[in-house]
Chains A and B, each alone.
Chain A
Amino acid sequence: MIDRLLIANRGEIAVRIARACRELGIEVVAVHSTSDRHSAVVAMADEAVHIGPPAPRRSYLHVPNIVEAALRAGADAVHPGYGFLSEDPDFAEICAAEGLTFVGPPPAVMQQMGNKATARRLMAEAGLPLLPGVVEPVRTAEEGRAIADEIGYPVIVKAAAGGGGRGMTVVRAPEDFDEAFATTRAVARAVFRDPTVYVERFLSGARHVEVQVLCDAHGNGVSLGERDCSLQRRHQKLLEEGPAGHLTPEQRTELGRLAVHGALSVGYTGAGTMEFLVDGSGAAYFMEMNARIQVEHPVTELLTGVDLVREQILVAAGRRLAFRQEDVVPRGAAIECRINAEDPTRGFAPAPGRLEVLQVPDGPWTRFDTGYRQGDTVSPDYDSLLGKLVVWAPDRDQAIRRMDRALAEMRVEGPGVHTTIALHRALLRDPDVVADRHDVQFLDRCLPAVLARAASLDDAAPGLPAARGGLQLVPTPTADPRPDRSTEGEIPCPPRPSLSTT
């Protein structure tokens, strides 16, 4: 059993893991960089170890210091969280070699899943559907045309070195292939100085659906339902929800079965996510596997009632899963909004700074996971995730309304600080999003319109009581002219606090 666990991470996930440990009766060792020395997880931990300067590669990515911290603090396990070292097979291996239980899959499995080509090959062998296309570069137009004929149109010709929509051409008919191939290659050569291109089946209207799995070290695995993460900007997820309401219950069950089968076929243990691209007909294609706990795991927790971090730790400690597939019954709908300290109007540039005001929403089925408290400073050295606002409701419509209400309650202020709050409110008002018919390209396509709506929301702050002041049935006390600080929070964020019209 694990008695003392070192959290090799920071921010909200470190706090999340510390909470799970507390509930399990496990002692917590936090590690922190210089700039995080007063962070929330440091305050919560039984012991905190300073592991280096702010730059991640000298602190949260610096394996020797983290292992040293674990050994000196007497930890017997390490939880890597997400990001940083969470998918570094060497780190997992070094922990094992030092006698530390690593909360995650075996290093060899992590290595296989970390290599996209290997993961795709192994999952194909396990019988999971892959997007038709070739992983090998295509050298000539004839070769490419033969592949396109085989996989069927439309296809996409992609520059290997490309990204962000550049160096990609969608080809809808064979007669257009040669020209598209030549052009894409020429662009790839001119822009990226590398003419290598691939040919893949093009999916229009595709959705990003991922299945949460949990496997123990005794060959048992369950699926905990799926999440839809189609609202992403340049592959950065912004808003996640569950379940994938656009799929039939049969399709969802089948996806869950495939995911568990795929994970078990490679000897996976712990919490993991299988990512699929799903087309308009509901056909799913395996994309990749994430061998770690994910940012959006609370969506699944709210839907299933399973504490994923707790289960992760128990499985790492060698325990058998305490529930079976039939015990997992996702209920209702959940949405998570990533509140980032970024300025969406300036290309999502990080906008960190001191959080002079941080008012967190509350209320029924409203959860906010964060590593920051009012007065803390968001450091520019790390990712800009300020916190995750997650709500649950019996159905998707109610969940959207609940999220809008919670977003409206939230206040983040500080010099230079901007957030994605208004953007989320605008997103949840978009007719396509409300109707659940958006696709993975939605944000890359419609961002300007969403931003314009967010700007008008910012100005009008609708959904909030207008700042006309409250009705007075008794005379306003005048003894103390200063506003009472303790009541400030009760007023749902008027632009300027005002206790009286007089």
Chain B
Amino acid sequence: MTRSATPVPPVPAPQPAGGWVSCPACGWLLYRKRLDRDLHVCPECDHHLRLSARARIDLLADAGSWTEAHFAPSTPDPLAFTDLRDYPDRLAEAERRSGESEAVVVGTARIGGAEVVLAVMDFGFLGGSMGVEVGRRVSGAAELALERSLPLVTVCASGGARMQEGVFSLLQMARVSCAFGRLREAGLLSVCVLTDPTYGGVSASFATLASVLVGERGAHVGFAGPRVVQETIRAELPRDFQTAEFLMSHGLVDRVESRAELRPLLVRLLALHGAGPVPGAPAGDGSADEGPSADRAEDADEDAEADDTDADPWDVVQRARVTERPTTLDYLHTAFDDFVELHGDRVFADDPAVVGGVAAIGGRRVVVLGHEKGHTVRERVARNFGMPHPEGYRKALRLLDHAESFGLPVVTLVDTPGAHPGPEAEERGQSHAIAEAILRSSRLRVPVVSVVTGEGGSGGALALCTSDRLLVMENAFLSVISPEGCAAILWRTAVAAPTAARAMRLGAAHLRSAGIATAVVPEPPGGAHTDPLAAAGLLRRALVRELDDVCRLDPATLLDTRARRLARISGDDGRPLQTVGS
């Protein structure tokens, strides 16, 4: 099972003469020089042709920044292996053909100015298979990153473990995994780029252990090769089986990128994790007012007190539900300076009703999580109207972990009618997923600032509301049940929804006066949808203010204050529970 199980030949087919290459996927004749300029991507079918390790380094690293790490020569061939040929012969042949001494190249480089350790595999060397030397070099790369406190970027291309080194190869999986585990404990960023193909012992070890997993478009990544799977189940496999896109839709990788987008993405990821300048940070005075519409936010009353926001609860409900109301993704693109979305729960699926990732705002790096409703009918259907499934909450959970690992504060934007009610959601543990998300955020060792931006429907909203600061936008509300649901149960008619909304005192004013919300974020007159940019400016201003405030606290104080804040929330002004003597 850890053998090279891919259906692909280990060495690229010989090239037709005359500077022309035939695309292995569509057969189109490609002029080699043009292909070089196009990063070896077929313009006809977008097939990403395989690249050598050296070409990868040229593609990703800043020009002239590469310094190769040299490893003391080792004694290969622990089994004195011979098949049709002696193993040392095969090694010598692989070295001659690929120009590399092993299937992975390790060194340091800069990517967009950020210093990193870079480990790049070469499929041209015995199919990128992992033997003792590959294990040694990859764990060596992780150790180098630890030693110098640098991020580690790995580019994978491998058929799996190397047969010729037998069980020694197998044990390399444990060796490299341990090294990646130490990297994780140290809070160092690791990014793994999964390229075509990544299988077996490599995909089941370091290739999928990085903090961020990026699949190159069309790359085949899996454990068992498709032929093995096909023979086992004796059924037709989907066309996109084991492609990077397939992995993303199953929640297994954070992103899929075309080859040209890889380097820009790495630059942004590194910057958003503390290597390199914070995106959007003003060069000069460090003030956070460079953002959109900051000027207009200036004269608005930021601390809109409860008394002057006494809007009718039913009006609030309706404004919160306007389809043009800015969504989480809108705010991420207008109120924040940069945002890289990270997809998937790494287990089962990527829930489009919850979006999250790393972002920058006002010179600060944060992890952002939020419900996403979309605007058009098509978008709203695709996003399930912002109603998450368990995998949405599990995506939130793993991004909370991500935030804690890298010491990034968390911002959540809450706007959901509620968690998805349905049999599949129940099968996959909706309650448990919500509960875990609440628990995790209540004990997170980094600050959490939540903003209810629209509908805050029940437990599905609360999963992203457990925080140090809970802001609520002027036309947003938090409720235990929808006003329609409440009316149907207690008034026995959904027509009574406005009455129910008033009875439940839905709206920012009540949340603020009850001490549940810590501040109200003003909106442009008529609601956020009337001037989305201005609304984004107001939100940005509030977030920057709250983050500045809450980021001053050390983790112990933070956890203590958060626990006390949650304990205080009750209808009766927070009388502590007393043990009644018997």
Chain A residues proximal to chain B, CB less than 8 Å: 57, 63-64, 90, 93-94, 97, 139-143, 178-179, 182-183, 185-187, 189-190, 193
Contacts and interface: CB of A to CB of B under 8 A. Distances in A.
Instruction: Report, as a range, how many residues of chain B touch the other chain.
Output: 20 to 34
A187 B282 CA distance: 19
Contact of B20 (A64, A139, A185, A193): A64
B334 A64 contact: no
Contacts of A187: 533
Interface of B: 19-20, 29, 31, 33-34, 44, 282-284, 290-295, 330, 333-334, 532-533, 536
A160 B512 CA distance: 43
Contacts of B19: 94, 97
Contacts of B294: 182
A190 B334 contact: yes
A143 B290 CA distance: 12
Contacts, number: 48
Contact of A182 (B20, B29, B292): B292
Given A57-B44, A183-B533, A190-B330, A63 B31 contact: yes
B46 to A, nearest CB: 13
A186 B531 CA distance: 12
A186 B334 contact: yes
Given A179-B295, A189-B333, 11 more contacts: A57-B44, A63-B29, A63-B31, A90-B34, A140-B283, A140-B290, A178-B295, A183-B293, A185-B292, A186-B533, A189-B334
A185 B283 CA distance: 17
23 contacts: A57-B44, A63-B29, A90-B31, A94-B19, A94-B31, A139-B283, A140-B284, A178-B295, A182-B290, A182-B292, A182-B294, A183-B292, A183-B293, A186-B292, A186-B293, A186-B533, A187-B533, A189-B334, A190-B330, A190-B333, A190-B334, A190-B532, A190-B533
Contact of B290 (A97, A141, A190): A141
A189 B333 CA distance: 6
A90 B30 CA distance: 11
Nearest to A91: B31
Contacts of B295: 178-179, 182
A189 B532 CA distance: 13
A166 to B, nearest CB: 15
Contact of B536 (A140, A179, A186): A186
A177 B313 CA distance: 40
| Pairs A-B, 8 closest by C-beta atoms | A186-B292, A64-B29, A189-B333, A182-B292, A90-B34, A90-B31, A186-B533, A140-B282
A179 B291 CA distance: 10
Given A186-B533, A189-B334, A142 B284 contact: yes
A93 B18 CA distance: 12
Nearest to A192: B333
Contacts of B333: 189-190, 193
A185 to B, nearest CB: 7
A144 to B, nearest CB: 11
A139 B280 CA distance: 7
Contacts of A185: 292
Contacts of B533: 183, 186-187, 190
Nearest to B284: A142
Given A64-B20, A186-B536, A189-B333, A90 B290 contact: no
A430 B330 CA distance: 44
A178 B291 CA distance: 10
A73 B2 CA distance: 55
A142 B29 contact: no
A238 B408 CA distance: 55
Nearest to A193: B333
Nearest to A62: B29
Question: Which of A64, A90, A140, A190 counts the most B-chain CB atoms under 10 A from its CB?
Answer: A190
Contact of B291 (A63, A90, A97, A182): A182
B514 to A, nearest CB: 34
Contacts of B284: 140, 142
Contacts of B334: 186, 189-190
Given A64-B29, A94-B31, A190-B333, A182 B293 contact: yes
A59 to B, nearest CB: 14
